[in-house]
């Protein structure tokens, strides 16, 4: 089964009118719509100014990945003889991307930059710099920049250079002749990544303000010095975005790690997808670049400012203005449920522990692993590794565990996009000290998040497991909303051990009794629950679905939800990103509501609630690592697990679902035409309410 990209149709089973069908929303357009919601954060007066700038940089980063992966795949799909994606679809998505980027630069230039200047944070162009500032910039250029630049004049023996993905470059058209009397008109300057993109001027030259200059402005002001005896009559910054998805045929390679390591060396030079130039770039130069990169006119993006707004994170980091950032928030340690200094193993023998990040600290997870490493009774540790970061206290602890003689097994997902190199490095370090490292199952990414500890307690072995909706990354755990679950439950821990056994040995095992895993059971289980809800609705019993996920693009799940809604079930979907199900279509999705919440933290937890009757046994609540996408259901190793304790289940509902259904400040609602409307500009923010709850209670 493949994911529908173009906005296909799903037959609506049980529709009031015979033959009624539902046209799905375009997935690529839905991704761009999400970035519109992120960009809207940059326009909010209640968001601190530097954070508004940060949202602009986040949009740039998101769009880079969109072009590198999603749009690159979309273009490839449009060329397939069996495709449902047409050239018209591609042009429509391209036009939407152009409009979004134009709006991004308008917000940057007309709203955020003037507001920063009014508060004394200014980015000075060459024309705005006074003589003393120009003199300082000239020295900086001569001492720090020029030695690293190497202009290349193009001629038959100096062909167009290799331009790396997302690198900064300049193109110049030169007057006059070169040192050898020839008219090589075009020169290219590649700007090394090691150079800072934002430079702060000394306070003595800043006239009481915080003054900055952009590297692009510095180079532009001194281009003439790069070509003695000639004049740069026209020029432009440019940046090319390339297809960056690593294409490795796992069935054909004998060493996946080595194949990926080789692929990483060429990733920066994949097929060109997008070309960015400044708005003033002459047509002649932009056309020359399009020809060099083999791109159509639609792939050209003229921007009113620096070609990579994402690098302005350097300004945010350098600025001395805490009042222009979000107030610091320190995640709470669950003192009552986990008293400081108490053994986590002892605590878990009494009851399970649920952690809601980032409102609660990720430190108990680190302590769980540290205690396992230091405890002589712990015999084995097993962990999945997806996105841990280049620096990771958890990975260092695993290495220390091996040194202390414990059995350590790590399932390292080498194909975690844009984290491949970090994961390869960790895999090599772990192997070097003697850990057992496996790379999951050929053709299936291991996206499940599990950490299993086996401890000797008297004459028996006791297992403890941590399950999570998010990654083992303490840094992102302060930025993403996720739920972690620590337990000594025999059923869940036995199932977790079976998952690791299967990932290592690839043996055929019985389906776990408590964990619900993909690609084997999860998809069918979700469809079965949705069907249960449909049946209950037809019988007039309470019928309810609330699902909080990052994306909803799987046609089978969409089909099932449509049928359940038509049967009378009430369905609320909290989908942060791409959603292909259009709600509110008369006769088809009247009972389905879709909302997205975009706030200070990135919504990342997956929480699934089903009710199909009045009894206490007629409901189910799951936490999961999987989004409702075909790739997650059928192409990845994922886990979902039930929350069976009534009090804990109610806590998840009260914290992860109810506040988001009542959010009137950060929430957006999706309409049938694929457009989103912000619910309001005042009222309740789910994230802020949870922050206040944990700041005041501190458990």
3-state percent helix, strand, coil for the chain, nearest multiple of 5: 40, 25, 35
Direct distance between the N- and C-terminal alpha carbons of the chain, in angstroms, rounded to an integer? 46
Q: What's the DSSP call for residue 297?
A: G
For residue 106 the two structure tokens come to 């308008």
Which residue's structure tokens are 């802020």? 688
Is the distance from CB of 499 to CB of 505 less than 8 angstroms?
A: no
Which residue's structure tokens are 């975690």? 416
Query: How many helices (H) and strands (E) are present in the chain, helices listed first?
Result: 21, 29
Residues counted in the chain: 699
Alpha-carbon distance of 309 to 60, in angstroms, equals 6
Q: What is the DSSP string of 245-258?
A: -----TTT-S-HHH
For the beta carbon of residue 676, count every other beta carbon within 10 angstroms.
21
Is the distance from CB of 575 to CB of 592 less than 8 angstroms?
A: no
Q: What is the DSSP string of 531-582?
A: HHHHHHHHTTS--EEEEEES-B--HHHHHHHHHHHHHT-EEEEEESS-B---
Bridge partners of residue 480, in order along the sequence: 602
Alpha-carbon distance of 415 to 253, in angstroms, equals 14
Q: What's the DSSP call for residue 160?
A: P
Q: Which residues contact 55 (CB under 8 A, 6 or more apart)?
A: 38, 39, 41, 42, 47
Q: What's the DSSP call for residue 379?
A: E
Q: What is the DSSP string of 303-367?
A: ESS-S-GGGGHHHHHH---GGGSPPP--PBP-TTTS-TTS-HHHHHHH--EEEEETTB-SHHHHH
Treating both helix axes as pointing N-terminal to C-terminal, what angle do 49-65 and 27-41 enclose, rounded to 10 degrees?
160
In the three-class reduction of DSSP (H, G, I as helix; E, B as strand; rest coil), residue 150 is classed as coil
Does residue 447 carry a catalytic annotation?
Answer: yes
Alpha-carbon distance of 163 to 148, in angstroms, equals 16
Alpha-carbon distance of 545 to 542, in angstroms, equals 10
Is the distance from CB of 692 to CB of 359 less than 8 angstroms?
A: no
Q: What's the DSSP call for residue 99?
A: H
Active-site annotation holder among 222, 356, 357, 447:
447
Alpha-carbon distance of 253 to 255, in angstroms, equals 6
Q: Select from 243, 224, 241, 245 the least CA-distant residue to 307.
A: 241
Q: Select from 602, 51, 43 the least CA-distant residue to 316.
A: 51
Beta strand 460-468 with 480-487 is antiparallel
Catalytic annotation, residues: 447
């Amino acid at each position: 089964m493949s994911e529908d990209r173009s906005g296909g149709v799903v037959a609506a089973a049980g529709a009031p009118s015979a033959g009624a069908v539902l046209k799905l929303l375009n997935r690529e357009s839905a991704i761009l719509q999400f970035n519109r919601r992120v960009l809207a954060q940059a326009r909010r007066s209640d968001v601190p100014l530097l954070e508004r700038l940060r949202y602009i940089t986040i949009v740039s980063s998101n769009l880079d990945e969109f072009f590198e992966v999603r749009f690159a795949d979309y273009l490839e799909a449009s060329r397939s003889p069996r495709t449902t994606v047409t050239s018209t679809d591609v042009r429509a998505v391209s036009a939407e991307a152009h409009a979004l980027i134009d709006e991004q630069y308008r917000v940057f230039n007309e709203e955020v930059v003037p507001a920063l200047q009014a508060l004394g944070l200014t980015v000075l162009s060459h024309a705005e710099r006074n003589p003393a500032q120009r003199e300082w910039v000239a020295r900086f250029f001569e001492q720090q920049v020029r030695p690293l630049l190497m202009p290349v004049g193009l001629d038959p023996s100096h062909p167009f250079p290799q331009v790396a993905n997302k690198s900064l470059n300049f193109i110049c058209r030169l007057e006059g002749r070169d040192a050898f009397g020839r008219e090589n008109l075009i020169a290219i300057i590649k700007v090394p990544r090691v150079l800072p993109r934002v430079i702060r001027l000394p306070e003595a030259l800043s006239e009481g303000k915080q003054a900055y200059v952009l590297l692009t402005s510095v180079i532009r002001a001194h281009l003439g010095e790069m070509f003695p005896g000639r004049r740069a009559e026209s020029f432009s910054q440019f940046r090319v975005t390339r297809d960056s998805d690593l294409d490795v045929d796992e069935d054909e390679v004998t060493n996946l790690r080595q194949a990926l390591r080789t692929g990483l060396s060429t990733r920066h030079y994949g097929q060109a997808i997008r070309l960015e130039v400044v708005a003033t770039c002459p047509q002649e130069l932009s056309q020359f670049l399009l020809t060099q990169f083999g791109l159509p006119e639609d792939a050209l993006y003229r921007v009113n400012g620096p070609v990579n707004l994402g690098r302005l994170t350097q300004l945010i980091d350098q600025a001395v203005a805490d009042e222009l950032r979000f107030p610091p928030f320190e995640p709470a340690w669950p003192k009552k449920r986990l008293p400081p200094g108490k053994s986590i193993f002892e605590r878990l023998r009494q009851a399970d522990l649920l952690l809601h990040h980032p409102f609660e600290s990720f430190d108990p997870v680190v302590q769980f692993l540290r205690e396992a490493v230091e405890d002589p009774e712990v015999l084995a540790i097993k962990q999945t590794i997806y996105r841990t970061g280049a620096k990771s206290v958890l990975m260092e602890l695993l290495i220390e565990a091996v040194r202390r003689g414990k059995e350590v097994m790590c399932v390292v997902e080498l194909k975690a996009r844009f984290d491949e190199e970090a994961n390869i490095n960790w895999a090599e370090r772990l192997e070097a000290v003697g850990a057992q490292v496996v790379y999951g199952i050929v053709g299936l990414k291991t996206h499940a998040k599990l950490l299993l500890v086996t401890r000797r307690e008297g004459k028996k072995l006791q297992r403890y497991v941590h399950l999570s909706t998010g990654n083992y990354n303490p840094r992102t755990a302060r930025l993403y909303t996720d739920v972690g679950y620590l337990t000594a439950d025999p059923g869940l821990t036995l199932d977790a051990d079976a998952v690791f056994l299967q990932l290592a040995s690839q043996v055929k095992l019985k389906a776990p009794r408590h964990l619900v895993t993909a690609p084997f059971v999860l998809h069918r289980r979700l469809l079965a629950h949705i069907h249960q809800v449909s049946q209950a609705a037809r019988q007039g019993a309470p019928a309810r679905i609330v699902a909080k996920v990052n994306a909803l693009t799987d046609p089978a799940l969409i089909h099932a939800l449509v049928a359940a809604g038509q049967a009378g079930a009430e369905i609320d979907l909290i989908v942060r990103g791409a959603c292909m199900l259009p709600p509110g279509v008369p006769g088809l999705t009247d009972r389905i509501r879709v909302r997205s919440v975009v706030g200070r933290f990135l919504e990342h937890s997956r929480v699934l609630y089903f009710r199909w009757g009045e009894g206490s046994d007629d409901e189910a609540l799951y936490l999961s690592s999987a989004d409702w996408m075909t790739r997650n259901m059928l192409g990845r190793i994922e886990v979902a697990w039930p929350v069976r304790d009534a009090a804990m289940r109610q806590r998840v509902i009260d914290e992860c679902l109810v506040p988001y259904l009542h959010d009137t400040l950060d929430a957006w609602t999706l309409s049938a035409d694929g457009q989103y409307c912000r619910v309001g500009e005042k009222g309740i923010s789910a994230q802020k309410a949870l922050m206040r709850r944990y700041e005041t209670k501190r458990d």
